[in-house]
């Protein structure tokens, strides 16, 4: 292997290096039996991050207005609690948070059904910890979704 190839594989990552060697990964969600595009396909990262931003902004407004007594420092701590409660209640009942609904996303179980309450609790706890949410698999699911056996799809 030439040094330029080694540097290129380091910069572009192991997936790009494997694809250069002829490995076929398929599209995101193929292993889960989901369509490549349209309703029911894996939600793209940009939409998921935008939905998270909308939900976080809503939680900050609720925390600042109702719980923190007008103290900005306390609002961020309360916002995390509000975010956890919002996620538990909305994903556990209807399958989406307000931000996800606005952007046309839904959280479903890997088999396509509703996510059970224990899985919603596990997913929410892991999401609040943040670290599992930034570790993704090759289908684009965060570790919190993978461990809870759930997936975010387009509506």
The 10s digit of each residue's pLDDT in 56-66 is 999 999 999 99
Which pTM does this prediction carry?
0.83
Task: Give the span between the Cα atoms of 13 and 57, in whole angstroms.
Answer: 33
pLDDT of residue 23: 76
Torsion angles phi and psi, residue 27, rounded to 5 = -90, 165
Please report, rounded to a whole number, the percentage of residues in the chain having pLDDT higher than 70: 89
Q: How many CA atoms lie less than 13 Å away from 89 in the CB half-sphere?
A: 7
Q: Tell me: the pLDDT tens digits for 57-105?
A: 999 999 999 998 888 888 988 999 999 999 999 999 999 999 999 999 9
Instruction: Indicate whether 35 pLDDT > 90.
Output: yes
Q: In the chain, which ranges are E strands?
A: 105-109, 150-154
Torsion angles phi and psi, residue 39, rounded to 5 = -60, 135
Question: Which two tokens mark 122?
Answer: 């596990």
């Amino acid at each position: 292997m030439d040094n330029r190839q080694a540097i290129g594989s380091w910069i572009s990552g192991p997936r790009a290096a494997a694809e250069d060697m002829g490995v076929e990964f398929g599209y995101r969600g193929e292993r889960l039996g989901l369509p490549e595009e349209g309703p029911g396909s894996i939600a793209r990262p940009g939409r998921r991050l935008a939905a998270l931003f909308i939900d976080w902004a809503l939680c900050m407004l609720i925390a600042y207005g109702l719980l923190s007594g007008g103290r900005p420092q306390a609002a961020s701590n309360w916002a995390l609690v509000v975010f956890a409660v919002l996620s538990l209640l909305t994903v556990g009942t209807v399958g989406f948070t307000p931000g996800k609904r606005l952007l046309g996303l839904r959280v479903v179980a890997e088999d396509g059904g509703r996510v059970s309450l224990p899985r919603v609790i596990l997913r929410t706890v892991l999401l609040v910890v943040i670290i599992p949410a930034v570790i993704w698999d090759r289908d684009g699911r965060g570790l919190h979704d993978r461990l809870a056996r759930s997936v975010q799809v387009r509506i």
